[in-house]
Amino acid sequence: MKSALIIYRSKTGFTKKYVDWILEDVTCSVTTLDKVKMVDIDQHDIIIYGAGVHAGFISGLKKIKKLVSFDDKKVIIFATGAAPNAEDIVKPIIDNNLADCISKVDFFYFESGINYENMSFASRGIMKTFSKMLSNKRDKTEAEKEMSEVIKSSFDNSKKEYVGPLTALVKEYIG
């Protein structure tokens, strides 16, 4: 039986919630990205990395690319973001973050939300600026109009059922 390790970074709790849902369905070791040095990555066959999307970039992914050999392991990456799971949202995330390795990894995007209460002061400032910029933007697309309204306050659209395809894949890889 193969062994799986989840590495994650979660600033406001959404990615952690998805990690907990994954762990309800499959047995994996787990660590945060901050503590990854305390874990022997080589002992695991399957590496799952999860983190939030910040201004289009998957947080911590650059560090993971340096730490994990995508050629030697099964690598699954999941990103959580406030935007809905739609092709025009997910494609730029893949293009921005995974253009160099998409053929070697399995990627999942999980819709989450915004949690202003758990956000750092700096992040709150960035979100405020982004929100203002979006509301002042002319000729907004429907998605942008919707986004400019919803990000004004905290919300949570995360759902356990979203992890189903990921956990099915982990079960297949574990064998």
Q: Which is nearer to ligand FMN, 135 or 173 (CB)?
A: 135
Of 36, 46, 68, 114, the one binding ligand FMN by CB under 6 A: 114
Q: Does 127 bind ligand FMN (CB under 6 A)?
A: yes
Around Cβ 175, how many Cβ atoms within 10 Å? Answer: 7
Around Cβ 72, how many Cβ atoms within 10 Å? Answer: 10
Distance CA 86, CA 43 (A): 36
Contact of 33 with 64, CB cutoff 8 Å:
yes
Contact of 18 with 159, CB cutoff 8 Å:
no
Q: Which is nearer to ligand FMN, 69 or 120 (CB)?
A: 120
- The minimum distance between CB 84 and ligand FMN, in angstroms, equals 9
What are the tokens at 121? 């002061």
- The minimum distance between CB 12 and ligand FMN, in angstroms, equals 3
Binding mask 40-79 toward ligand FMN (x if CB under 6 A, else -) reads ------------xxxxx-----------------------
Site for ligand FMN in 139-168 (CB under 6 A): none
- The minimum distance between CB 16 and ligand FMN, in angstroms, equals 6
Q: Which residues of 23-62 are buried (b: 16+ CB within 10 A; e: fewer)?
A: eeebebebebbeebeeeebeebbbbbbbbbbeeeebbbbe
Of 96, 123, 135, 167, the one binding ligand FMN by CB under 6 A: 123
Binding interface with ligand FMN (CB under 6 A): 10-15, 52-56, 80-83, 112-114, 119, 123, 126-127
